[in-house]
Amino acid sequence: MKIADKHEKIVHAAIKVFARNGFYNSKIAEIAKEASVADGTIYLYFNNKYDILITIFEEEIGRIILKVKREMAKLDDPKEKLIRFAQIHLSLVEENKELAEVIQVELRQSSKFVKEYRNKKFAEYLNIISQIVKQGQAEGIFRKDVMPGVFKRAFFGALDEMSRFWVLSSKKKYGVNTAAQQISAFFLNGILSN
């Protein structure tokens, strides 16, 4: 087995275990077992338990941001971009339930380091939204009195809460598309001029 494989195997085992128990209730031994690896092996790839969490963050979230940005670049119309953003956000959550749970639950943990770290990556993600709003305002499609800094949080928050519901409950009455359409419709009709 190649080294990269083992690193990845441990990261994915950790995502599973953290999602199941939460970071503080997860034992290294459990991650090791899930990855079919000895406890000690984990320390050949990571400095400590905490480091695994940070790695999940770095590697997996970076990937997601990239994906969304690329998708946005394909579209011109800010209105369409917003709808697509909602769709892609929710479907990424759906496809990566365990990762989503770790991000949503654990990375809100208040360790100063994680908090600052989260904020950087997170700000980048939120700014994709405010950029869309600014573009729309420049083009006269969105109302000028909409504050992009408030909007980005409100829009993201709406999607995020919706995802939490999915991640935690698992018995959903409506699909990703319905939810994405509803949510972007709430907001869009709200910020479209006239």
- Quick one: what does residue 62 bind among DNA, its own copies, none, with the CB cut-off 5 to 8 Å set by partner type? none
Please identify which residue in 20, 97, 121, 134 interacts with its own copies, judged by CB under 8 A: 20
- Among 76, 157, 175, 177, which residue sits at the site for its own copies (rule: CB under 8 A)? 157
The answer to whether residues 3 and 37 touch, using CB atoms and an 8 Å cutoff, is no
Q: What is residue 76's DSSP assignment? A: -
Candidate list 77, 94, 98, 160; residue touching its own copies; CB under 8 A: 160
SS3 (DSSP) at 192: strand
> Residue 175 interacts with its own copies (CB under 8 A)?
no
CA separation, residue 32 to residues 79, 155, 189 (Å): 46, 38, 50
Closest CA to 44 of 28, 30, 59: 28
- Which residue from 104, 29, 77 is spatially nearest to 184, judged by alpha carbons? 77
Asked if residue 106 lies in contact with residue 25, where contact means CB atoms within 8 angstroms, the answer is: no
Q: Is 174 in the site for its own copies (CB under 8 A)?
A: yes
End-to-end Cα distance, the chain: 61
Quickly count: other Cβ atoms within 10 Å of residue 194's Cβ. Answer: 3
- Residue of 44, 150, 168, 185 that binds DNA (CB under 7 A): 44
Applying CB under 7 A, the site for DNA has a residue count of: 18
**Judged by CB, which is closer to DNA: 44, or 185?**
44
- Does 39 sit near DNA (CB under 7 A)? yes
Site residues, DNA (CB under 7 A): 1, 3, 6, 25-29, 37-41, 43-44, 48-50
Site residues, its own copies (CB under 8 A): 19-22, 24-25, 101, 104-105, 108-111, 115, 119, 146-147, 149-151, 153-162, 164-165, 168, 173-174, 178-179, 182-183, 185-191
